[in-house]
């Protein structure tokens, strides 16, 4: 079992081990491959960000969790109430955690992170606002590739969500997938999901659950891969509600017989 930190440790500008928190504005980078055996924060995370005005360069280093059939912990946790944060992955691979990258803040850019073989989600946006998630890859996670939960006015662009155990990209609140029961913690309005590869997920490629509003989904393709087992594209709202789907893969399957998914 990984060691768990008993007190908060402040991250240095160059981070060479798990178990610290960025709690002051500034520039930070990962200097070496890091992993959960080095210690975790009190919130069971490798790295936490609890400050606004942070530039974080993951430097293409790996961030590895305990793994196993039921992974635990969080690779990178960005706390609520903080803003103006730039996260650059440069292809950094986050793997073996329950959640690879968890963003709860606002006005945050996260670019070029890969989150594979995690548990609940490779990447999760939870009660976040104004997030720019660009060029993420989330594949072979046990449940979701990318989970957008009670999050608004955020963009997910140029994503790859492949061969995940449930859904490639899910907007909703259930850890089981679309339940058509709404979202008690709040809806996810005004999000934009542009340009993604969604092949080979166990149930759905992109799924919008009941209550998702004013969301645009466009240019989602199978990328030469296999169809998702239930539907490639799914909207639980009647006639898609206020959501707009267009310019998606012409071969993609969907659940809306009325034609609102295009």
Domain that holds residue 132: 14-246
Is this prediction's pTM over 0.85? Answer: yes
CA separation (Å) from 225 to 8, 53, 115, 200?
Answer: 44, 40, 19, 7
pLDDT of 223: 78
Whether residue 260 lies inside any domain: the answer is no
Whether residue 6 lies inside any domain: the answer is no
203-213: per-residue pLDDT in tens? 999 999 999 99
Whether residue 160 lies inside any domain: the answer is yes
- Of 81, 138, 84, 123, the closest CA to residue 104 belongs to 81
Whether residue 1 lies inside any domain: the answer is no
Domain tally, the chain:
1
Residues 209, 203 contacting (CB under 8 angstroms): no
pLDDT of 2: 38
Whether residue 4 lies inside any domain: the answer is no
pLDDT of 183: 76
Give the C-alpha separation, 198 to 231, whole Å: 11
Whether residue 258 lies inside any domain: the answer is no
From the centroid of its chain, how far is CA 11?
23
Categorize the per-residue pLDDT at 3 as very low, low, confident or very high, splitting at 50, 70 and 90. very low
What mean pLDDT is reported for the chain? 94
151-175: per-residue pLDDT in tens? 999 999 999 999 999 999 999 999 9
Whether residue 76 lies inside any domain: the answer is yes
Mean pLDDT of 26-55: 98
SS3 238: helix
Contacts of 44 (CB under 8 A, 6+ apart): 4, 72, 73, 74
Give the C-alpha separation, 97 to 101, whole Å: 9
120-157: per-residue pLDDT in tens? 999 999 999 999 999 999 999 999 999 999 999 999 99
Categorize the per-residue pLDDT at 7 as very low, low, confident or very high, splitting at 50, 70 and 90. low
Mean pLDDT of 47-56: 98
In this predicted structure, the answer to whether residue 47 has a pLDDT above a threshold of 60 is yes
Whether residue 3 lies inside any domain: the answer is no
Write the CATH number for 97: 2.160.20
């Amino acid at each position: 079992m990984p060691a768990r930190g008993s007190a908060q440790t402040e991250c240095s500008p160059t981070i060479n081990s798990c178990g610290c928190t960025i709690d002051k504005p500034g520039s930070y980078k990962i200097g070496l491959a890091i992993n959960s055996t080095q210690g975790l924060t009190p919130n069971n995370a490798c790295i936490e960000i609890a400050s606004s005005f942070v530039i974080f360069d993951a430097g293409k280093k790996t961030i590895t969790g305990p793994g196993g059939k039921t992974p635990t912990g969080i690779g990178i946790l960005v706390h609520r109430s903080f803003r103006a944060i730039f996260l650059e992955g440069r292809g950094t691979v986050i793997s073996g955690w329950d959640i690879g990258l968890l963003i709860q803040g606002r006005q945050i850019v996260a670019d070029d992170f890969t989150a594979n073989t995690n548990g609940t989600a490779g990447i999760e946006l939870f009660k976040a606002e104004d997030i720019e998630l660009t060029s993420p890859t989330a594949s072979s996670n046990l449940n979701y590739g990318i989970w957008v939960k009670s999050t608004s006015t955020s963009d997910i662009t140029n994503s790859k969500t492949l061969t995940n155990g449930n859904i490639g990209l899910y907007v909703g609140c259930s850890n089981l997938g679309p339940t058509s029961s709404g979202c008690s913690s709040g809806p996810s309005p005004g999000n934009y999901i542009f340009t993604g590869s969604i092949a080979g997920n166990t149930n759905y490629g992109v799924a919008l659950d009941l209550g998702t509003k004013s969301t645009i989904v466009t240019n989602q393709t199978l990328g030469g891969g296999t169809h998702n087992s239930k539907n490639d594209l799914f909207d639980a709202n009647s006639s898609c509600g206020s959501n707009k789907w267009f310019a998606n893969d012409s071969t993609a399957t969907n659940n809306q017989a009325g034609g609102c998914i295009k």
